[in-house]
Amino acid sequence: MRNEFCAAIANVMSESTTTFFLTGDLGFNALEGIQQLAGSRFINAGVAEQSMIGIAAGIASCGNDAFVYSIAPFATFRCIEQIRIDVCIHDLPVYIVGNGGGYGYGIMGATHHAIEDIGCMSTLYNMTCWIPAFADDVRYCIDSMRAERKPAYLRLGMGRPRPAASVCGPASPVTLASDPKVTVVTLGPIIANVLDALERVGSDVPADVFSVIRIPLDEADIARIAASVEASGRLIVVEEHVARGGLSEYLIARLHDMGLDGFRCSRLCAAGYPNKLYGSQRYHQAQSGLDADRIAAALRRTQ
């Protein structure tokens, strides 16, 4: 999604003279074009994520908005207090961009993974998390963040093109079955594995699939998911994030708040590093049971 992100940002920086872009010394082979066109509105803040957030907040307090870019763990965990106070408490339009959410940086190792980021960021006051799933979600997310002019976190990953007949939205229904036996709700790009799994199970398991790309969700989005769960009686949540603090806890709590219970539920989440070994993103997904085969097995168990 980095290409889509860079294209969208180049557009924004050209259109708006009050938008700034800060990077924590990252962006080789990606941000050079933005650097060229934005002049002094492009800032390499150095390997200094904490002050980068504070500087972005100061810039935003002058009536601007600011994107702040780094690898997901460095853009979030490293500077969470600065995000909490300098950005969120002041409700400033600072948009934190974390590249390589989940196990996205694969063999780079655990230091470069972000599998607890949504748990951290979604609890912050005034914060909205955006987790684009498909390539064209990126521009939708950026447009939405800028329209809201509030603190936001954008978690970028690897997104494939959107399937035909679905549209961008906070909790977009990607496929809907006439008589669903299961409702699958995904967080971000892991939906690619879910769609692969659905191909494997074919028509044996009629499923509704919702692609969640925003936390929190509004009432209407939750109600649509709730109606599906009520019809299917079975919910599977799939996310490349630890179970604690992720989409599954959030969604189940919201459904429960609506009075919906009595449905069966499975949560497929990031397991961390169960064998203490490291590899590609696909390796870690498989270790967590997030690969297409394991998701297909979970779907078959719904029968």
Partner 1 sequence: MPRTLSQQQRHIRQKLLRLYYGASCGHIACSLSCIDIVQAAYSWKAASEEFILSKGHAAGAMYVVLNALGRISDEQLTSFYKDGTKLAAHPSAGTSRDIPFALGSLGHGLPIATGIAYGKNHVGLADRTFVLMSDGETNEGTTWEAAHFAVRNSLSGLFVIIDKNGLQGFGRTSDVLGDTADPAVWRAMGFRVIEGDGHNEAFLKSFMDETRPDADGRPTVLIANTVKGCGVPYMEDKLEWHYLPMNKELFDDAMTYLEESGHAE
Rule CB under 8 A: choose which of 30, 85, 223, 271 binds partner 1: 85
Residue 8 found at the interface with partner 1 (CB under 8 A): no
Alpha-carbon distance 274 to 234, whole Å? 27
How many beta carbons lie within 10 A of that of residue 135, not counting itself?
17
Rounded to the nearest whole angstrom, what is the least distance from the CB of residue 93 to partner 1 in the complex? 13
**Which residue lies nearer to partner 1 by CB, 83 or 212?**
83
Rule CB under 8 A: choose which of 31, 38, 53, 182 binds partner 1: 53
**Which residue lies nearer to partner 1 by CB, 44 or 266?**
44
Helical (H) or strand (E) element with 100: none
Q: Tokens 């429960």 belong to which residue?
A: 256
Residue 60 found at the interface with partner 1 (CB under 8 A): yes
Alpha helix positions (H), the chain: 2-15, 32-38, 49-61, 72-76, 80-82, 117-122, 137-148, 191-201, 219-232, 247-257, 281-287, 292-300
Question: By CB under 8 A, which span of 5-13, 39-47, 132-140, 295-303 interacts with partner 1?
Answer: 39-47
Please give the DSSP secondary-structure letter assigned to residue 259: T
C-beta separation of 275 from 287 below 8 A:
yes
Residue 150 found at the interface with partner 1 (CB under 8 A): no
Residue 61 found at the interface with partner 1 (CB under 8 A): yes
Residue 156 found at the interface with partner 1 (CB under 8 A): no
Q: By CB under 8 A, what part of segment 210-269 binds partner 1?
A: none
Residue 150, SS3?
coil
Question: By CB under 8 A, which span of 7-15, 58-66, 149-157, 290-298 interacts with partner 1?
Answer: 58-66
Alpha-carbon distance 303 to 205, whole Å? 7
Rounded to the nearest whole angstrom, what is the least distance from the CB of residue 22 to partner 1 in the complex? 9
Q: How many residues bind partner 1 (CB under 8 A)?
A: 28
- Give exposure, 169-189, as e/b (b: 16+ Cβ within 10 Å): bbbbbbbbbeebbbbbbbbbb
Residue 168 found at the interface with partner 1 (CB under 8 A): no
Site of interaction with partner 1 (CB under 8 A) = 40-41, 43, 45-46, 48, 50-64, 81-82, 85-86, 89-91
